Amino acid sequence: MSRLTLDQAKIDRARDMARRIARQVYDDMHRFTTTSVERATLRLMGVDGIDDNQVPLPNRVVSHLQAQGLLQHGAALPVAAAMAERGLSAQQVALAVAAGELMLHNPAGTAGEGEARRMADALAARACERIAANRATRDAAISHCGEARTPWLYLIVATGNIYEDIVQARAAAEQGADVIAVIRSTGQSLLDYVPYGATTEGFGGTYATQENFRLMRAALDEVGHKIGRYIRLTNYCSGLCMPEIAAMGAMERLDMMLNDSMYGIIFRDINMQRTFVDQFFSRMVNAYAGIIINTGEDNYLTTADAYEAAHTVLASQLINEQFAYLSGLKPDQMGLGHAFEINPALENGFLWELAHAQLVRQVFPEACLKYMPPTKHMTGNIFKGHIQDALFNVTSVLTQQNIHLLGMMTEAIHTPLMQDRFLAIQNARYVFGNLRDLHEEIQFTPGGRIEQRAQQVLAETVSLLAHIEETGLPAAIAKGTFADISRTLTGGKGLDGVVPKAAGYFNPFPALMLP
């Protein structure tokens, strides 16, 4: 395979700095829990549904614990204590709390503490068994049906109506898509609760709910069995409910989740502390469930220049990788993101795109890389756009990317229609088929333009990571290091949901899910 000559010592140095940067953030944030982590814990323990006012029961219980000053100890123990004392299920405890019929308490230091811990551990073990069974089901389905060769064709559906999404997803799979991503309704990442049930009225996307996950999973299993190819399902594990969506996805056998460590901070103005705590727990759940995460570095290039800011993408990928390791994710579960976003008017732009993609491939040889199509410089000229997507497809297969989000020629005009997606699939399949083994037949010119560009980006990445290590990641984000957007440690949405842990804080899941 053709490879660039890169300085391995620089790569190792960059990775070591990223490891220390991520570890410092982890050590600072491990002292906190969040309302969303505790709601996710309750969901995994069996709490679901809504009250008479359509408020999710996990929210009701966590709000009750917060009002009683108990959330700092974790939600698991007070709920498990009530279960043991009253002979109730976790769901019945939640219903009683919502009805105002039950006041929870912390059993620590009482005779009931031991039984409450045993009850919580048993519920956590049962949840882990369910998730492990889903992982085994996925492996069996892939073994039985088979799967496509990479790059996998990743296609989005987003009608707002889950039943209409299912129709489009089936059609896409039959036309050649390997991964179906259901985009969330506009603004859902800023909701501090998860909607309940099947939904039909999303805006610019479809609400992420556990029932919607279940319905789409069943539909893709059915069409995958019909066409003889396992179809992966993706949703968006980000925003104020990041841990809860991870829990729901694990219980309903999703295969991929967009799950970045910094995307919510930078692009949704979600509080930094909230995001760093939530991303650790959500990635832990995804790791245990065998879910491939997708990171969001491609978004940096929609607000910053793709040529000038290329090193910020690689630096962020290295940091995301280290956060992922801390949560138990393996390299083949790391869908590190990047994008084909250089201005097409730039001379030799294709060479620079190739340099960036090959650099990422070599720095992360075992990762399940996710490559994103041109969007920023799509103008509405569908003929030029189709060519831009074709060049993107060439780069992807030539540099052996893993997850390939299909570019749409109508990207700058409207939400792509089914026929636009069909043309995108045809474009990619044509390029992939005709250039399948080209990477084995060509070599990069030693010292040539592509290699020099990759070496330049690597050197700039090392310099940037050294600066971030010196100042700390929160300070670097505050300076607008990534995507030219500045956020502060105490700014943004959701800070009121960050809770310092008490000395006796208890959560049964890390002991079971972390390696």
Q: What is the mean pLDDT of residues 375-379?
A: 95
pLDDT value at 8 more than 80: yes
pLDDT value at 411 more than 90: no
pLDDT digits (tens, 9 = 90+) for 179-197: 999 999 999 999 999 999 9
Backbone CA torsion sign across 306, 157, 132, 506:
positive
Q: Per the domain annotation, does 10 fall within a domain?
A: yes
DSSP letter at 190? G
Of 221, 298, 389, 420, which residue is the catalytic one?
Answer: 298
pLDDT value at 2 more than 90: no
Q: Per the domain annotation, does 25 fall within a domain?
A: yes
298 catalytic per annotation: yes
Q: Per the domain annotation, does 466 fall within a domain?
A: yes
The CATH number covering residue 352 comes to: 3.20.20.440
Distance, in Å, from the CA atom of 313 to the CA atom of 150, rounded to the nearest integer, reads 22
Distance, in Å, from the CA atom of 310 to the CA atom of 358, rounded to the nearest integer, reads 13
pLDDT digits (tens, 9 = 90+) for 96-135: 999 999 999 999 989 999 999 999 999 999 999 999 999 9
Q: What is the mean pLDDT of residues 220-244?
A: 97
* pLDDT band per the 50, 70, 90 thresholds, residue 1: low
Q: What is the mean pLDDT of residues 383-405?
A: 98
Q: Per the domain annotation, does 379 fall within a domain?
A: yes
263 catalytic per annotation: yes
Q: What is the mean pLDDT of residues 332-345?
A: 98
Of 230, 263, 288, 505, which residue is the catalytic one?
Answer: 263
pLDDT at 417: 82
Runs of H (alpha helix) within 228-271: 242-251, 263-268
pLDDT value at 29 more than 90: yes
Q: Per the domain annotation, does 1 fall within a domain?
A: yes
pLDDT digits (tens, 9 = 90+) for 128-176: 999 999 999 999 999 999 999 999 999 999 899 999 999 999 999 999 9
Q: What is the mean pLDDT of residues 10-31?
A: 98
Q: What is the mean pLDDT of residues 319-345?
A: 98
pLDDT at 264: 96
Q: How many domains does the chain have?
A: 1
pLDDT digits (tens, 9 = 90+) for 264-296: 999 999 999 999 999 999 999 999 999 999 999
Of 193, 288, 300, 370, which residue is the catalytic one?
Answer: 370
Q: Per the domain annotation, does 234 fall within a domain?
A: no
Runs of H (alpha helix) within 46-197: 57-67, 76-86, 90-98, 113-145, 162-175
Does residue 238 contact residue 263 with C-beta atoms inside 8 Å? yes
> Percent of the chain beyond pLDDT 90?
97
Q: Per the domain annotation, does 457 fall within a domain?
A: yes
Q: Per the domain annotation, does 90 fall within a domain?
A: no
pLDDT at 418: 82
Q: How far is CA 240 from the centre of its chain?
A: 13
Q: Which domain holds residue 377?
A: 1-29+299-321+338-471
